[in-house]
Structure 1
Amino acid sequence: MSIPMSKTVVYLLVLLIVLSIVSIALVATLPRAPTGVVTVTTPITVPTLSVVTVTAPGAPGATVTVEKTVTVPGAPGATVTTTIPPTTVTQTVTVTGTAAPAIPPLAEWLASAAAPYKGVTIRMVTESTPTGLFIRDVLAAEFEKITGIHAIVETVSWDEMFRKEISTVQAKASDYDVFYVEQDIIAQYGYNNWLIPLDDFIANPKLTYPGYDINDIFVLDQYIYNGKILAIPFESFLKIYVYRKDLFEKYGIKLPDVLTWDFVKKVAEFFGTGTKEPGVYGWVAQAAYHPCLFYEMVESVWPTFGVQYWGITNGLEVRFNNTCGKKAYRTYIELLKYAPPGVSSYTWDEVGATFTRGGAVQGLMYAEFFGTIFKQNPNMIGKYGVAYPPIDPDCYGGGYIGYFDMGGMGINPYSKNKEAAWLFIQWVTSKENVKRIMENINTVVRWSALEELGDKLDAKYGHGYFALLKKAIKERVFRGAPPFPFHLDISQQAYAPLHKAVTGETTPEAAVDEMAALVKKILAPWKEKLGVLPPYT
């Protein structure tokens, strides 16, 4: 059934339809709200870009493109009543700045810098350490190939090295251009002007590689004397407590949080003289009639009993013959009965050799020997652990506890080829070669190498040494030798009375007293000459 519609209703419906069509047409002609990046056809205001100073590789005056993104509140001119979302407009500005020159590869720079010295011969004398051998056998030949400078490296014993260096400068001779310089001797070399300061070479852009980055060398301060850099370190390593991690695990021995000499004694007694494990002794030491015995005491044992800086005050008074100093030496002597036969003739080399064959369960060792150990006996990889040296809680009251050993390269003041020598020093101590030395020998002097390779090498060898090194640097618990200009005067004599206790000729306490009397006699003229030394740091 249909429902009749009035004319009025029909008219209203028609009118609504017409109005709707008109509205749609009008809306279609309005600008649309942007939904992405807009193309603006009318001027907009964009925040002003600030002036930019650009440093980039390439030739000076290079054009650099800088992009800055700003946000504007919509496209101008839009007549819609809806709110337009913020729109991102990217403006590209071209600025011109002074670009830093590109740093060339080291070999390329060396070849150019060495051109005036091509054909000359430089000679270095160095201790026959693993690093010294690497310089002789690998780095010297590479340097000569790159530069045309003949580099002859002579490796000798520690004792012979000192004799050759000192006799050369005392004769004002030029037999050697580059000296191996132990950190502990730097004050005596500096005091006697046996090295030339390197500061002027370092500051000379014609002679110093722009990417050398001397501040990357974290032990450089140990070679500064009277404000001048006298040598550049190429090796550094701690003298640490080393133990057979595998045997500790086998017998359920746990390393305490704080290692003590009492713990060390118990471990030595447990393993004895090869009775627990065939060929493995409870202890090893460098107890020869040699300066190594003196160094073992003053650098590694006495500090752990609170006797630091060789037991000599900055007023040059002897203090190492106190109760703790004597207790330390008795502890040392008593441990020797658990060491291999012949320990009374062991230097640091024999200690390294003992650990290479796995012949001691524990001992104090220069960490540079790890490289040799793992090369000569890969079976020992993963079997060693490291720790800070043990302390005596009754005597040690804080301060450093161990020795931070270093070897550097300095220039003979009478060398006739100083510039060529400096180029050779840079080659050996460059970032590239410090990394190679670290990988091959387990010693490092640059932060960049330590950060890049430390964890990798710890994982490879399983010893955790580089983690310990980082910790030790942060906590400052290892030191080089005190800055004594009379270093050799004491070290070349004071081991003799100490050795009398090693052979049983006298007691440890009497040996220390005899050494104290000798050192006092040596220091007497120095007290008159120097008075009081600056405070130790």
Structure 2
Amino acid sequence: MAASSVSQPTEVVNNPVASQDSSSISFLAEAAQPYRDIVLHGVTEDTPASDYVKAVLAPAFEEETGIKIELEIVPWADMYSKTIEDMEANSGTYDFVYIEQDIIYAFLEQNFLVNLTQMLDHNPNLASPDFKPIDFTTFIEEFKDPATGDLYGVPMEAFLKTYVYRKDLFEDLSIQEAFATEYGYPLGPAVTFDQYHDIAVFFTQYGQDNDMELWGSTVQAANDHPASFYEFSETILPTFGVYNWGINPDNYKATVDNSGQLNSEQAKNALTFWLDLLQYAPPESTRSTWTETAKTFAAGRVAQGWIYGENVAWIATDPTRSEIVGKVGVALPPTTQGVIQDASIGKGYVGYYDGGAFGIPYSSKKQEAALLWLQYISQADVQPEWAAASSRVVQLGTFDDPLVLEQDKKVGGYFSLMKKEGRLYRGAPPFPFHSQIRDLVASYLYLAIDGKLTPEEALDQAATAVDEELVKLGYGK
């Protein structure tokens, strides 16, 4: 499955660094001398971390090395299409690309990416002594070939999709009293799904009673976008004890009859719970992707929900974009019995560890210069401000930086949660057929969201369709 590691020649521009004392030149500046004035073209997803790369890191890299970075920041769907089209055509348009954790295994199967481990080994003159994979969080494992352990991407952002709640509402004494009177237990971040449901009902009614635009929960349930599949499969299902999208990784089957879990009782309970929340969610929820749910929460329209960590920083700190600055709390999501234990021993997980890396397409003709760029963004000293600006952490040492510790207080303890409990979260399953099965299952979820199928019908049909499709793709015969 590993991509070829043979490096194509880099286009070298003979414009060396002006003569100066070599002791004052950084390793990267010295190594970059043959490549000065080269332009590296990259494409990345429109995320806060990518914005920081373009605004701060790219100019700084050019100043230090003389290598210019041209970075396209595009929506999620365009990022996928541009990247895949370029690599399939072997055109060499892009010298580095954003690799979402979800898609890495498909890229490896297609031999799209340069083997960074081998390239560094074969080019010691380009291998910075400061580049140490051991400094990264466990998220770096998501960008290694499972068969060889070789690295194919350098993490540039990583975050949890976490449970969030309105601290100002949850800590209001009159609200606490009313909730305790109604339900017989104290108001707090939901630990069980019954509690989550109670809180959703309570705050939806509270909004109606007080003439407020307030509902009880976010629901990322766009009825025409894969975002709904991702929320259900990577946030809701695992907290009900259904892992790997309900597909048995040993035989690639999804139906219960074939030892899968996609149409299991737990999965049907999960979908029933999630769809039921729509009556306690803002009306825009069936049009909401990850972008809209973040905006909904930032507008103060919901009391709790699940939000990608990349958005937590600006929701909690940016008054130009958020109505709830200083009012955001984060916690582990509610789970069914046994899920936390499963996650603790590596048998399961409580939610999605999301993010992406920059990798070098095998079609790039400027691979050596791109390798220097990837090592530049991996330096420890560029991490803290990047983290504070966009809630992303990819290196262990970043958590203990004073700037991040101070920011942690402003974002409801998000970084503390990520440091302490990140091990309980996991990226997408290592399926090369990620996109095909995502789109297939999503089509049944859309029908369930629209009320055209019951949760039971949707998952029974989806599981059967997955079994059939995987056989066609060469899996699970």
TM-score, length-scaled by structure 1:
0.75
Q: Does the alignment pair 1:312 with 2:247?
A: yes
The equivalent of 1:247 in structure 2 is 169
What SS class does the counterpart of residue 364 from structure 1 fall into?
strand
Q: Does the alignment pair 1:132 with 2:50?
A: yes
Whether contact under 8 Å (1:270, 1:276) holds in the other structure is no
Q: Does the alignment pair 1:283 with 2:217?
A: yes
The equivalent of 1:470 in structure 2 is 419
Residues 514, 141 of structure 1: alpha-carbon distance in 2 compared, 3 angstrom cutoff: same
Residues 187, 394 of structure 1: alpha-carbon distance in 2 compared, 3 angstrom cutoff: closer
Q: CA shift at 1:146, angstroms?
A: 2.1
Q: Deviations over 1:317-358 (max 9, x none)?
A: 112111110110010000011111121110000011112222
Q: CA shift at 1:429, angstroms?
A: 2.5
In 1, the alpha carbon distance for the partners of 2:27 and 2:107 equals 32
The equivalent of 2:270 in structure 1 is 328
In 2, the alpha carbon distance for the partners of 1:381 and 1:212 equals 36
Whether contact under 8 Å (1:212, 1:431) holds in the other structure is no
Runs of 5+ unmatched residues, structure 1: 1-102, 532-537
Whether contact under 8 Å (1:177, 1:421) holds in the other structure is yes
290, 293, 296: which one pairs with 1:351? Answer: 293
Q: Does the alignment pair 1:231 with 2:163?
A: no
Residues 429, 358 of structure 1: alpha-carbon distance in 2 compared, 3 angstrom cutoff: farther
What SS class does the counterpart of residue 481 from structure 1 fall into?
coil
Q: CA shift at 1:257, angstroms?
A: 8.1
313, 329, 347: which one pairs with 1:385? Answer: 329
One-letter amino acid matched to 2:252: L
Q: Does the alignment pair 1:516 with 2:463?
A: yes
- Determine what percentage of the aligned residue pairs are the same residue: 36
- Superposed counterparts of 1:59-458, under 5 Å: 108-203=26-121, 204-218=123-137, 219-225=139-145, 226-227=147-148, 228-250=150-172, 251-252=175-176, 254=186, 259-272=191-204, 274-276=207-209, 278-288=212-222, 289-314=224-249, 315-318=251-254, 319-373=261-315, 374-375=317-318, 376-377=320-321, 380-393=324-337, 398=342, 399-453=348-402, 454-458=404-408
In 2, the alpha carbon distance for the partners of 1:305 and 1:256 equals 20
Q: CA shift at 1:372, angstroms?
A: 2.4
Q: CA shift at 1:255, angstroms?
A: 5.4
Whether contact under 8 Å (1:188, 1:485) holds in the other structure is yes
Whether contact under 8 Å (1:127, 1:155) holds in the other structure is yes
What SS class does the counterpart of residue 283 from structure 2 fall into?
coil
Q: Deviations over 1:139-194 (max 9, x none)?
A: 21222222221211001111111111111111111011111001121111111111
Whether contact under 8 Å (2:252, 2:475) holds in the other structure is no
What SS class does the counterpart of residue 229 from structure 1 fall into?
coil
Larger radius of gyration: 1
Residues 462, 290 of structure 1: alpha-carbon distance in 2 compared, 3 angstrom cutoff: closer
Residues 207, 522 of structure 1: alpha-carbon distance in 2 compared, 3 angstrom cutoff: same
Compare relative contact order (CA 8 Å, sep 6+) and give the higher one, 1 or 2.
2
> Higher mean Cα deviation, 414-423 or 131-140?
131-140
One-letter amino acid matched to 2:81: R
Q: CA shift at 1:450, angstroms?
A: 1.1
Whether contact under 8 Å (2:352, 2:427) holds in the other structure is yes
Runs of 5+ unmatched residues, structure 2: 1-21, 180-185, 255-260, 343-347
Whose helix proportion is higher, 1 or 2? 2
CA RMSD of aligned residues (A): 2.1
Residues 378, 501 of structure 1: alpha-carbon distance in 2 compared, 3 angstrom cutoff: closer
What SS class does the counterpart of residue 123 from structure 1 fall into?
strand
In 2, the alpha carbon distance for the partners of 1:329 and 1:403 equals 17
Q: CA shift at 1:222, angstroms?
A: 1.3
Whether contact under 8 Å (2:113, 2:360) holds in the other structure is yes
In 2, the alpha carbon distance for the partners of 1:519 and 1:118 equals 50
Whose strand proportion is higher, 1 or 2? 1
Residues 395, 112 of structure 1: alpha-carbon distance in 2 compared, 3 angstrom cutoff: closer
Whether contact under 8 Å (2:383, 2:398) holds in the other structure is yes
The equivalent of 2:4 in structure 1 is none
Large movers: runs of 4+ above 6 Å: 394-397
TM-score, length-scaled by structure 2:
0.84
Q: CA shift at 1:382, angstroms?
A: 2.5
In 1, the alpha carbon distance for the partners of 2:413 and 2:313 equals 13
The equivalent of 1:88 in structure 2 is none
In 2, the alpha carbon distance for the partners of 1:493 and 1:327 equals 20
- Superposed counterparts of 1:3-14, under 5 Å: none
In 2, the alpha carbon distance for the partners of 1:104 and 1:489 equals 53
One-letter amino acid matched to 1:321: N
> Higher mean Cα deviation, 130-139 or 297-306?
130-139
What SS class does the counterpart of residue 440 from structure 2 fall into?
coil
Paired residue total: 424
In 1, the alpha carbon distance for the partners of 2:424 and 2:364 equals 37
Residues 335, 514 of structure 1: alpha-carbon distance in 2 compared, 3 angstrom cutoff: same
Whether contact under 8 Å (1:299, 1:403) holds in the other structure is yes
Q: CA shift at 1:378, angstroms?
A: 6.2
In 2, the alpha carbon distance for the partners of 1:518 and 1:290 equals 19
In 2, the alpha carbon distance for the partners of 1:293 and 1:330 equals 14
The equivalent of 2:445 in structure 1 is 498
